[in-house]
């Protein structure tokens, strides 16, 4: 980073060529008339960025919210089957709204619906990246959403902020923009914070936001920003209601809250392990193993594991937990949970004796391990 960029950190955003923009259901579905939303405003801004030589990928919520509107419901359904039905009804309406908004400029839109399975499996993750690259090569604007119609656990616990943080490194983005219905991250006096350089110290500044149509909230956006910063991506949380917000962000104007990455960027595969895979279990370690993994960046050996939780299989992602219960690392295990339980406290040379087979001396190899 040059001295000018250090003095004005937003200056670097002018160089961002590929931008992932996420807009939430509350922000996209608000408009002058029921169902009208902000689609044309978003389309106009994307078109303007394309004229400036930028490429934009949209991660858009709104399928469930538009289904709720079409069905005339007053609140978001609670039952999974009803949520899936609302998503199925709302998804074509969501895509049609974007198609209409981009039609005047002759720009096609491309729908990509993802479940966590597509991004948690490495081969399917790379296939999704190839498909997105092809969409962009053909001049389309990808509209990405979680496939809520078939998702179950993701529909209950996930949100598109996290999806956007996964998509950004997937497409090789230079910048992630999370649009919301507030000005950005607010301080204790409810004033906008322009720049955050240490995301770990802002938990007290996350204000709860309850609404009937969306999941998310500022906590989710800060979590997504933290993840994206891990791979060296700057993130801006900005106001969706500003009809010029994307141009302002991309040209370095002071709008929203800019989160700056700190330290070396995490390699793509490490990021995939830490933030894209679902954790299937926990391994609690003793103080010696904690030092080896966290301080010395060594592999996790069976001798340092004191307890096992979950029904994971070899190749699954698990959390590594300190003696006081803190998650300190994540990694891919080489043995099933029941086998790890049989190896608790064992030396590596005794693995084959206890199990009758040997897949390596490590439970989690350092190449498959990410310290958080």
261 phi and psi, to 5 degrees?
A: -70, 145
* pLDDT tens string 332-349: 999 999 999 999 999 999
pLDDT band at 132 (very low <50, low <70, confident <90, very high): very high
In this prediction, residue 361 carries a pLDDT of 95
Structural domains of the chain, with CATH = 3-269 (3.40.1160.10), 278-371 (2.30.130.10)
The overall average pLDDT reported for the chain is: 87
Q: How confident is the model at residue 49 (pLDDT cuts 50, 70, 90)?
A: very high
* pLDDT band at 158; cut points 50, 70, 90: low
pLDDT tens, residue by residue, 76-90: 888 888 888 998 999
Listed in sequence order, the residues at least 6 apart from 92 whose beta carbon sits closer than 8 Å to its beta carbon are none
pLDDT band at 160 (very low <50, low <70, confident <90, very high): confident
Taking residues 97-116, report their average pLDDT. Answer: 92
Q: Alpha-carbon distance 160 to 157, whole Å?
A: 11
The whole-number pLDDT of residue 211 equals 45
Question: How sure is the predictor about 119, in pLDDT bands with cuts at 50, 70 and 90?
Answer: confident
State the pLDDT at residue 153.
Answer: 56
- Are 125 and 170 spatial neighbours (Cβ–Cβ below 8 Å)? yes
pLDDT at 108: 97
pLDDT at residue number 148? 63
Measured CA distances, 101 to 33, 38, 44, 75, 163 (Å): 15, 9, 8, 27, 23
Q: Which helix (H) or strand (E) holds 27?
A: helix 25-29
pLDDT at residue 32 greater than cutoff 50:
no
Q: Which of 68-77, 206-215, 297-306 has the highest mean pLDDT?
A: 297-306
Distance (Å, rounded) from C-alpha 149 to C-alpha 80?
A: 9
The pLDDT of residue 204 is 65
Residue 24 confidence class, pLDDT cut points 50, 70, 90: confident
Q: For the ranges 206-210, 269-273, 299-303, 365-369, which has the lowest average pLDDT?
A: 206-210
Question: In degrees to the nearest 10, what's the CA dihedral of 138, 139, 140, 141?
Answer: 140
**pLDDT > 80? residue 264:** no
pLDDT at position 154? 42
CA distance 140 to 313: 39
Q: What's residue 118's pLDDT?
A: 73
Q: Which residue has the higher pLDDT, 336 or 157?
A: 336
pTM of the model: 0.78
For the residues 247-259, what does the mean pLDDT come to? 96
pLDDT of residue 34: 43
């Amino acid at each position: 980073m040059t001295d000018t960029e250090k003095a004005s950190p937003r200056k670097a955003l002018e160089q961002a060529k590929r931008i992932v923009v996420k807009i939430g259901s509350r922000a996209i579905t608000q408009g002058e008339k029921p169902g009208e939303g902000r689609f044309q405003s978003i389309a106009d801004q994307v078109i303007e960025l394309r004229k400036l030589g930028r490429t934009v990928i949209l991660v858009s919520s709104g399928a469930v919210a538009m289904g709720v509107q079409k069905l005339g419901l007053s609140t978001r359904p609670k039952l999974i089957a009803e949520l899936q039905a609302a998503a199925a009804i709302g998804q074509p309406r969501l895509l049609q709204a974007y198609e209409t908004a981009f039609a005047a400029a002759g720009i096609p839109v491309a729908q990509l619906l993802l479940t966590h399975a597509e991004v948690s499996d490495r081969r399917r993750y790379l296939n999704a990246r190839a498909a997105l690259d092809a969409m962009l090569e053909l001049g389309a604007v990808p509209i990405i959403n979680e496939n809520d119609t078939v998702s179950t656990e993701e529909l209950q616990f996930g949100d598109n902020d996290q999806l956007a943080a996964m998509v950004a490194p997937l497409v090789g983005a230079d910048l992630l923009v999370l649009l919301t219905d507030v000005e950005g991250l607010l301080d204790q006096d409810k004033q906008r914070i322009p720049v955050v350089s240490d995301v770990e110290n802002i938990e007290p500044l996350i204000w709860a936001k309850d609404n009937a149509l969306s999941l998310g909230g500022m906590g989710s956006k800060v979590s997504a920003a933290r993840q994206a910063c891990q791979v060296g991506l700057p993130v801006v949380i900005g106001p969706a209601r500003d009809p010029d917000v994307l141009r302002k962000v991309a040209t370095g104007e002071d709008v929203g809250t800019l989160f700056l990455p700190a330290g070396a960027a995490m390699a793509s595969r490490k990021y995939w392990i830490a933030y894209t895979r679902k954790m299937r279990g926990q391994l609690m370690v003793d103080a010696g193993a904690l030092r080896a993994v966290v301080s010395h960046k060594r592999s996790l050996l069976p001798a340092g594991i004191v307890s096992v939780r979950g029904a994971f299989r070899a190749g699954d992602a698990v959390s590594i937990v300190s003696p006081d219960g803190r998650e300190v690392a994540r990694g891919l295990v080489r043995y099933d949970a029941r086998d790890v339980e049989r190896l608790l406290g064992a030396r590596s040379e005794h693995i084959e004796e206890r199990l009758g087979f040997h897949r390596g001396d490590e439970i989690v190899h350092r190449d498959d391990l990410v310290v958080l």
